[in-house]
Amino acid sequence: MILTADDVKQHLRIEDDEEDGYIESLIQQAQAVAEDFCRTEFGDDAPQPVRLALLLMVSHYYENRDNPDRTIYVTMRMAFENLLYPYRDPDKMF
C-alpha cells in the first residue's frame, strides 16, 4: 500500500490505535479508486501528488462518514482527480 495507517493518523491527528483497521480499509478503497481512475497500479514509490490524493480521499471518508454532503464530496473529488490526472495511462483508457 502507498499509505499506512500511521501516515493517515498523523495527517488526521489521531493518537490512538482503536480505528486502525477501519483506516486501513479506507486506504485500500482510496488506492483502488486512484488506480482505477489512472488505469495503473501504484507501489510504495508512488509520487507525492498520488499520496496526497489518497490522503484527501481517506480524510474525507473518515471525517464525513456521517455527513453525505454532496458539495463537500464534489470538491474533494475534483482535487483528487486533479492530483491524479498527470498519472493516468491514456493507452488503457478506452
31-89, pLDDT tens digit by residue? Answer: 999 999 999 999 989 999 999 999 999 999 999 888 778 898 899 999 999 999 999 98
pLDDT at position 94, please? 64
- How distant, in Å, are the alpha carbons of 30, 53, 82 from that of 27? 5, 11, 19
DSSP string, 34-84: HHHHHTS---TT--HHHHHHHHHHHHHHHHTTT---HHHHHHHHHHHHHHH
* pTM of the predicted structure, to 2 decimals: 0.88
Range of the domain at 17: 5-92
pLDDT at position 56, please? 95
Considering its fold, how many domains does the chain have in total?
1
Q: Among 20-24, 26-30, 67-71, which stretch is predicted with the lowest mean pLDDT?
A: 67-71
- Write the DSSP symbol of residue 90: G
pLDDT at position 83, please? 97
